[in-house]
Chain A
Amino acid sequence: MKPDRTPVLLAAILAAVVLGGLALPQWLLFILTIACAQGLVVLGLSLLIRAGLVSFGQALFYCIGAYAAGGLSRAFGVSDLFVQMAAGCASAAVAAFVLGFLLSRYRGIFFGLLSLALSMIFYGLIVKSETLGSTDGFNLAKATLFGVRPAEAWVRYSVLVAAACVTMGAAFLTHRFLKTPLGQLAPAIKDNEIRVEYMGASVRYAIHVNYVIAAALAGAGGALAATTVGHIDPEMAYWTTSGEFVFIAILSGTGSVVAPFLGALIFGAIRTVAFDLSPNTWQMSMGLVLLAAIVFLPDGLWSLFRRRKSA
C-alpha cells in the first residue's frame, strides 16, 4: 500500500502559512483567511459531489454559521474565534440533521434545486427580520483568541494562523472519514445505488451523514468569514454565493482534501486580479476561467498533480 502523504502535506501547508504569513502583506493575509473559510465549505461540498450530489444551497449553512457567530458577538459579546467557529459548526450541523431527513430522499437535479430552495427560504427570512439587520446585516467585533485581543497590526495574521490550524485539522478529520467504510460508500452510491442497497447498506443514512458533515464544515467556514470580514448580511445565503462554492468545487476537483483550499485560493486570486484589471467585466473573466477549467481540467486542479505523478 502507498504511504498516506496527506497528513504530512497538511502539516506542511500549516507550517508554510505560519512562517510565510509573517512576510505577507495584510491584504494577502485576508485573501488567505477567506480561502480557508471558503475551502471549508467546498471541502464539505466535495463530500456530496463524491456521492453524485451537487448542492446549490451550501450557502444556507455558510450563512447559518455566520449568523451564529454574529449572534454570539452581538447578543453576548463573545468574540473568540474558536467559540464562534464551534457555534457556527454546531448550528449548521443541527439544521442539516433536521433537513437531511428530507434531502436524503432526493437525487440529481431534485437534490440540487431543493437545497437551493431551502437556502433561498432562509435568505427570505433574514431579509424580513429587523432584529437581524434585514438586508443591511450587522457588524461583528474584532476577533479575540482564547480571550486575548491581538494588537491591531497582528489581527489579520493571528486570525489566519488560528483559521489555518482549525482548517487543516478539519481537512485531516475529513481525510480520516474518507478512509472509513462509511466514507468510502460515497463513490459506490454515485456509481450504483441499487448494488449498495442490495449489499446491505443504507444509502439514505450514508447521504445523511455526508450532508451533516458538509453542513458542519460550511457553518465553521461561515463563522470564520463573518469574523474575518467583520460584517454579515443575507447575501451570504443568496444563491450566487452557493454558485461560487460550486464554481470552486469544479475548479478544485475531488481528488484530495487539500484541493478545495487550493481552489478557493486561486478563485480569490483570480477574482482580485480580474476585478483590478477590469472592474466592470470581472464576472465575464470568471466565466471564462470556469469554462477553461471544465474544458481542460475536467477533474479539477488536482488532476494536474495526479497527471504529473503518473507521467
Chain B
Amino acid sequence: MPAILDAQGLNKSFGAVTAAQGVSAAIERDSVVGLIGTNGAGKTTFINMITGYLKPDSGRIKYDGRDITALPPRDIARLGICRSFQIPQLYSSLTVRENMMMALGVMLHAAGRGGFFSLGRPDVPGHDAPAEEVAERILARFGLAEHSDKNAQVLPGGMRKLLDIALTMAAKPRVLLLDEPTSGVSAEEKFGIMELIMQAVRAEGATVIFVEHDMEVVSRFAGRVLAFYDGRIIADAPPQAALADAEVRRYVVGTLNA
C-alpha cells in the first residue's frame, strides 16, 4: 500500500541544537500514528516540517507522491494536511460557532466560492452543505453544540482543545496532525476526549499523527508508534513492541513513568 506521507532523511538544526537528524518515516493511508519522546526530542519539529512551518535543512517530504518540502503552510493546508496546536489557536474574541464559521469561511475563500457576486449560500467544498449546516454538524460531533454561543476564551481547557481540532475539520483534512491533543486536560477527561476525537476523525476518514506523553493513551489509540530521542527515531513499531523496546524504555518511558 503506498504511503500517503513519506518523509525521507529530514535534517534540521537550530544553531548548535539538532532537532532532527535523518528522520525518515512513511505513513500509510488511514493509519493512526503516535509520536512519543521527551520534550525536545524532535516530535513537534517533525510536525512543523510536515506542515511547512519549518523547512528542513535537507531531506524530502512527499504527500501522495508529490514533493511538498518547499511549500508554505497555507498551500500544504490546502492539499489536505492540517494540524491542531499544543496551545489551542482559537479566535478568542469570537463565539464557538463564529470560530467554526470563520474556519469554514476560509475554506470558501480558498475555493473561490461565495465571492462578491454570489447571492446564495454556497456549499463548503468537501462538505456539500452551506457553512451554517456544516458548522452545526461538526460542533455536534465534537460535543460542542450546546456551547455554540459561548465565547471561545471562556471555554475550559478540554473544550478549547476539542474546538481547536474541530476547526481543522472544516478543511476536510486527509492527514491530521495533532500536537498533544490531551495536554492540559485532566487525567479523567483524557480518554473521553481522545475517544471523541478519534470517532470524529474516523467519521471523516483521515490519517492521524498525534503527539502524546501519556503512554496509556498511546497504546490504546495508536496503531503504530514512532519514538523520538535527540532528533532521531529510535523505534518504529506497533505500540506494545515499541514500548517494550529497551532504548524506548530507557530514554522515553523511563523518564516519564519511573
Contact = CB atoms under 8 A, between A and B. Distances in A.
A184 B116 contact: no
A181 B74 contact: no
Given A184-B105, A188-B102, A198 B73 contact: yes
A187 B108 contact: no
Nearest to A1: B132
Interface in B82-139: 82-83, 85, 89-94, 102-103, 105-110, 113-116
Contacts of A198: 51, 73-74, 77, 82-83, 89
A169 to B, nearest CB: 14
Nearest to B105: A181
Contacts of A199: 74, 77, 82, 103, 106-107, 110, 167-168, 170-171
Contacts of B75: 200
B202 interface: no
A176 B116 contact: yes
Contacts of B108: 181
A191 interface: yes
A280 interface: no
A277 to B, nearest CB: 40
A202 B109 CA distance: 10
Contacts of B250: none
B167 A200 contact: no
Interface string B12-46: 00000000000000000000000000000000000
A201 B92 contact: no
A15 interface: no
Given A180-B114, A181-B109, A200 B89 contact: no
B26 to A, nearest CB: 24
A201 B75 CA distance: 8
A177 B117 CA distance: 9
B220 interface: no
Contacts of B72: 197
Contacts of B77: 197-200
A200 B78 contact: yes
A201 B171 CA distance: 11
Interface range on chain A: under 10, 10 to 19, 20 to 34, or 35 or more? 20 to 34
Nearest to B103: A199
A202 B94 CA distance: 21
Contact of B74 (A176, A182, A184, A200): A200
B83 to A, nearest CB: 6
Given A177-B116, A181-B113, A192 B107 contact: no
A200 B106 contact: yes
Contact of B171 (A185, A192, A200): A200
Interface string B204-217: 00000000000000
Contacts of B85: 194
B73 A197 contact: yes
A198 B88 CA distance: 13
A88 B67 CA distance: 46
Contact of B102 (A180, A182, A184): A184
A292 to B, nearest CB: 25
A199 to B, nearest CB: 4
B74 A195 contact: no
Contacts of A202: 74
Given A182-B109, A184-B102, A191 B93 contact: yes
A201 B110 CA distance: 6
Nearest to A193: B89
Given A180-B114, A180-B116, A182-B115, A201 B106 contact: yes
Most chain A CB atoms below 10 A, which of B85, B94, B116, B171: B116
A197 B90 CA distance: 13
Nearest to B112: A181
A196 interface: yes
Contacts of B90: 192, 195
Nearest to A173: B116
Contact of B92 (A180, A184, A192, A194): A192
Given A195-B90, A200-B77, A181 B82 contact: no
A204 to B, nearest CB: 10
Given A180-B115, A197-B73, A198-B51, A192 B105 contact: no
A1 to B, nearest CB: 8
Contacts of B82: 198-199
A200 B71 CA distance: 12
Interface in A158-210: 176-177, 180-182, 184-185, 187-188, 191-192, 194-202
The 6 closest A-B pairs by CB, nearest first: A181-B109, A200-B77, A181-B108, A191-B91, A200-B78, A199-B106
Given A181-B106, A195-B90, A201-B110, 18 more contacts: A177-B116, A181-B108, A184-B102, A187-B93, A188-B102, A188-B105, A191-B91, A192-B91, A192-B92, A194-B85, A194-B89, A197-B73, A198-B83, A199-B170, A199-B171, A200-B78, A200-B107, A201-B74
5 contacts: A180-B115, A187-B102, A195-B167, A198-B74, A200-B171
Interface of A: 176-177, 180-182, 184-185, 187-188, 191-192, 194-202
